[in-house]
Amino acid sequence: MDDKSLRDLLNGALSGEPPIGPVAQNSLETGTRLRRRRRAWATGCAAVAAVAVVIIIPAGTGVLGHSAGPAGGQRSATVYVASQSERNLGGRITPVNTATNRTEGAIWVGVSPQSLAITPDGKTAYVANVGSRTVTPISTATDTPGKPIKVSVGPELIAITPDGKTAYVANLSSRSVIPISTATNTPGKPIRVGPGPDFIAFTPDGKTAYVANYNSGTVTPINTATNVAGRPIRVGASPRFIATTGQTAYVSSASMITPISTATNTPGKPIYVGGQPGFIAITPDGKTAYVAIESDRMLPPGTVIPISTATNTPGQPINVGSAAGRIAITPDGKSAYVAGAFTVTPISTATNTPGKPISIGPHVTVAITPDGKTVYAATSGKVIPISTATNTSGKPIQVAPGAPGGIAITP
């Protein structure tokens, strides 16, 4: 039996698995797994990418493949993990039911799934497959993959507009971002940006997408209504991550964070944080941006810097014990969870003090349930639930082998 026949047989057998609900955050994809070639994390830590940008999704009704929840027939939250394994056959998306912490089959997609994104209406999940130069749409009603969408380069990052109409695909080796109509699953004309497009973030109203151009030291704003790129905005060297409030986009680059006014698309005074800043997460009230410092000779390994968005001043460094990666913040804004090289470290946002690191494993990326009660930490071949009430880890859940390419949670 050839590879295609095997995939078709598996897809037919696994149809009817858990659907993915709608996106609640304004920025992007699920936990985009950060590219290993640039995201060293010193010891192989991953973050999503991406992404991340954890995806938290409002509850939906129970459908085929799900156990209906108690009142109102709502189904349990489901964790979806992309695994970069089985290179010859493709990668797998593994759903995990949060009520039982059991896996519910698998969904085969393209080679090396790098990130995930879900439309706000919850009907379609999009998987960027960097190894096969495709984006795979998945019907969340049946959890069956649709026809792969060919893009000109291997997609590494995918993000969906808040209105759900367009998915934007970026690849570090290109000079453009490709828009995909979610209504027709057809790619549009590439949007010319700077060399090395990387992370993508949207303003809360969805009118502008900001693209970090790693190789040119610029950020390109895109008008999402017309898919026309604006004038590049000069920031620091090698910009990578972006997070936005209503008024400001914060961009990480070499040794600093650059605030950009979203009203005028002009950069403000750089905020120097030292070292190599990475992932940025902003509290739900918009008052604090937390920046992961990936490396710095002057600071302990594994440092997070809080920045007041009112004054754009950095606070005291927070030591989280190992190379800081992706950061996920609880919906109530009380705790931030930092993925390290082999750990997840909680931080109290009221005092900016870290708790005891929680041992996980390599290639860690995290997502938090909509009720804020559980953090799911994906690592190589497994997912570990962490209670936010006690900051203790539960029994590991086995998923497809390989480093996680992204993680998303639905209710």
H, E, C per residue of the chain: CCHHHHHHHHHHHHCCCCCCCCCCCCCCCCCECCCCCCCCCCCCCCCEEEECCCCECCCCECCCCCCECCHHHEECCEEEEEECCCCCCCCEEEEEECCCCEECCCEECCCCEEEEEECCCCCEEEEEECCCCEEEEEECCCCEECCCEECCCCCCEEEECCCCCEEEEECCCCCEEEEEECCCCEECCCEECCCCEEEEEECCCCCEEEEEECCCCEEEEEECCCCEECCCEECCCCCCCEEECCCEEEEEECCEEEEEECCCCEECCCEECCCCEEEEEECCCCCEEEEEECCCCCCCCCEEEEEECCCCEECCCEECCCCCCCEEECCCCCEEEEECCCEEEEEECCCCEECCCEECCCCCEEEECCCCCEEEEEECCEEEEEECCCCEECCCEECCCCCEEEEEEEC
Q: How confident is the model at residue 311 (pLDDT cuts 50, 70, 90)?
A: very high
Each residue's pLDDT tens digit, 360-385: 999 899 999 989 999 999 999 999 99
Q: How confident is the model at residue 389 (pLDDT cuts 50, 70, 90)?
A: very high
Per residue, the 3-state secondary structure of 296-325, as one string, reads: CCCCCCCEEEEEECCCCEECCCEECCCCCC
Closest of 208, 206, 182, 178 to residue 193, by C-alpha:
178
Measured CA to CA, the distance from residue 237 to residue 219 in angstroms comes to 11
Across 7-21, 178-192, 213-227, 292-306, least confident range = 7-21
Q: What is the pLDDT of residue 387?
A: 98
Contact assessment for residue 76 and residue 67, using Cβ atoms and an 8 Å cutoff: yes
Contact assessment for residue 112 and residue 130, using Cβ atoms and an 8 Å cutoff: yes
Mean residue pLDDT of the chain comes to 80
Judge whether residue 6 has pLDDT over 50. Answer: no
Q: How confident is the model at residue 300 (pLDDT cuts 50, 70, 90)?
A: low
Domains of the chain, each with CATH number or no CATH: 3-410 (2.130.10.10)
Q: How confident is the model at residue 100 (pLDDT cuts 50, 70, 90)?
A: very high
Judge whether residue 5 has pLDDT over 70. Answer: no
Measured CA to CA, the distance from residue 221 to residue 229 in angstroms comes to 6
Each residue's pLDDT tens digit, 155-196: 889 999 999 999 999 988 889 999 999 999 999 999 999 999
Q: What is the pLDDT of residue 153?
A: 81
Other C-beta atoms closer than 10 Å to the C-beta of 372 total: 17
Closest of 213, 16, 177, 185 to residue 95, by C-alpha:
16
Q: What is the pLDDT of residue 75?
A: 57
Q: What is the pLDDT of residue 141?
A: 74
Judge whether residue 234 has pLDDT over 90. Answer: yes
Judge whether residue 61 has pLDDT over 80. Answer: no
Q: What is the pLDDT of residue 235?
A: 95
Q: What is the pLDDT of residue 2?
A: 46
Q: What is the pLDDT of residue 39?
A: 38
